[in-house]
Structure 1
Amino acid sequence: MTSCAEPPAPPAPSGASLWRHRDFRRYLTGQTASVAGSSITQMALPVLAVVHLDATTAQVAWLAFLGQLPPALLALLAGALADRYSKRRQMITSDLVSAAVLTTVPVSAALGTLTLSQLMVVAVVQGAASGLHDAAAISLLPSLVDRSLIQRGNSRVGALFAIAATAGSHLGAALTAVLGPGRALLGDVASFLISAGCTARIQAREPARARPKNGRLRDEIGEGLSYVFADDRLRVLTLVNATTSFALGLLNTLWALYLLRTLAVSATAFGVLLGLGALGAAAGALAAPALARRWGPGPMMLTALAITPLTQIPLLLASPGLAWQIAIGAALFLQLACAGAAGTTQRSIRQIVTTAGMQARMQAVSTWLTAGSRPVAALLAGGLGTWIGVRPTLTAGTFLLLVPFVVLARSPLRALRHMPDRPPTSPRTGRDPVLSPLARGTAPPAVPTPARPEDDRHDRSPGGDAT
Structure 2
Amino acid sequence: MAAPTLWRHPNFLKLWIGQSVSQFGNQFTGLALQFLALKTLLASPSQMGLLGAMGTFPFLLIGLLVGVWVDRHRRRPILIAGDLGRGFIVVAIATLTLLGIVRMEYLYVLGFATGILTVFFDVSYQAYLPALVPRGQIVEGNSKLEATNTTAQVTGPVLAGFALKAVGYAFAMVADGLTFFFSAGLMARIRTPEAVPATSERRAVTTEIREGLHVVFRDRRLWSIAGCTGTANLFSGALFALFTLYAVRVLGLDEVGIGTIGGIGGIGGILGAVTANRLANRIGIGRAIVVGILAGSLSSFGVVLATPQFAFVFLTAMVFVGALGTLWYNINQVSLRQSLVPVRIQGRLNATMRFLVWGTIPIGSLLGGALGEVIGVYPAIVLAAVGGLLAAPWVFFSPVRSLKTIPPPTSD
1:124 aligned onto 2:107: no
**Equivalent residue number for residue 303 of structure 1:** 291
Q: Which of the numbers 148, 153, 160 marks the counterpart of 2:141?
A: 153
Residue 220 of structure 1 and its aligned partner are, at CA, apart by 1.9
Q: Which of the numbers 370, 389, 410 marks the counterpart of 1:402?
A: 389
Structure 1 distance, partners of 2:173, 2:400, is: 43
> TM-score by structure 2 length?
0.89
> Are the aligned partners of 2:161 and 2:257 in contact in 1 as well (CA < 8 Å)?
no
**Equivalent residue number for residue 452 of structure 1:** none
Residue 377 of structure 1 and its aligned partner are, at CA, apart by 1.2
**Equivalent residue number for residue 293 of structure 1:** 281
1:4-403 correspondence runs (5 A): 15-47=3-35, 54=41, 56-57=43-44, 62-107=50-95, 118-206=106-194, 209-211=197-199, 213-214=201-202, 216-265=204-253, 267-322=255-310, 325-403=312-390
How many residues align structurally?
Answer: 411
Change (3 A) 1:62 1:213: same
Structure 1 distance, partners of 2:93, 2:255, is: 27
Structure 1 distance, partners of 2:405, 2:410, is: 16
Residue 22 of structure 1 and its aligned partner are, at CA, apart by 0.4
* Unmatched tracts of structure 2, length 5 or more: none
- Structure 1 residue identity aligned to 2:337: R
Residue 286 of structure 1 and its aligned partner are, at CA, apart by 1.1
Residue 28 of structure 1 and its aligned partner are, at CA, apart by 0.7
> TM-score by structure 1 length?
0.79
Structure showing greater Rg = 1
Residue 17 of structure 1 and its aligned partner are, at CA, apart by 2.7
Structure 2 distance, partners of 1:200, 1:160, is: 20
> Are the aligned partners of 1:241 and 1:366 in contact in 2 as well (CA < 8 Å)?
no
> Are the aligned partners of 1:39 and 1:168 in contact in 2 as well (CA < 8 Å)?
yes
Structure 1 distance, partners of 2:168, 2:298, is: 40
Structure 2 distance, partners of 1:382, 1:45, is: 17
Change (3 A) 1:418 1:215: closer
Structure 1 distance, partners of 2:243, 2:91, is: 32
> Are the aligned partners of 2:302 and 2:318 in contact in 1 as well (CA < 8 Å)?
yes
- Structure 1 residue identity aligned to 2:372: G
Matched residues, percent identical? Answer: 29
Structure 2 distance, partners of 1:382, 1:79, is: 30
Change (3 A) 1:137 1:44: same
For the residue of structure 2 that corresponds to 1:182, the secondary structure is helix
Residue 265 of structure 1 and its aligned partner are, at CA, apart by 4.5
> Are the aligned partners of 2:340 and 2:410 in contact in 1 as well (CA < 8 Å)?
yes
Residue 258 of structure 1 and its aligned partner are, at CA, apart by 3.5
- The worse-fitting range, judged by mean Cα deviation, of 120-129 and 288-297 is 120-129
Residue 281 of structure 1 and its aligned partner are, at CA, apart by 1.4
- The worse-fitting range, judged by mean Cα deviation, of 379-388 and 216-225 is 379-388
Question: Deviation digits for residues 365-424 of structure 1, max 9, x if unmatched?
Answer: 12112222112112222333344444443333233222221111211111111122x312
- Structure 2 residue identity aligned to 1:123: G
Residue 178 of structure 1 and its aligned partner are, at CA, apart by 4.4
> Are the aligned partners of 1:298 and 1:415 in contact in 2 as well (CA < 8 Å)?
yes
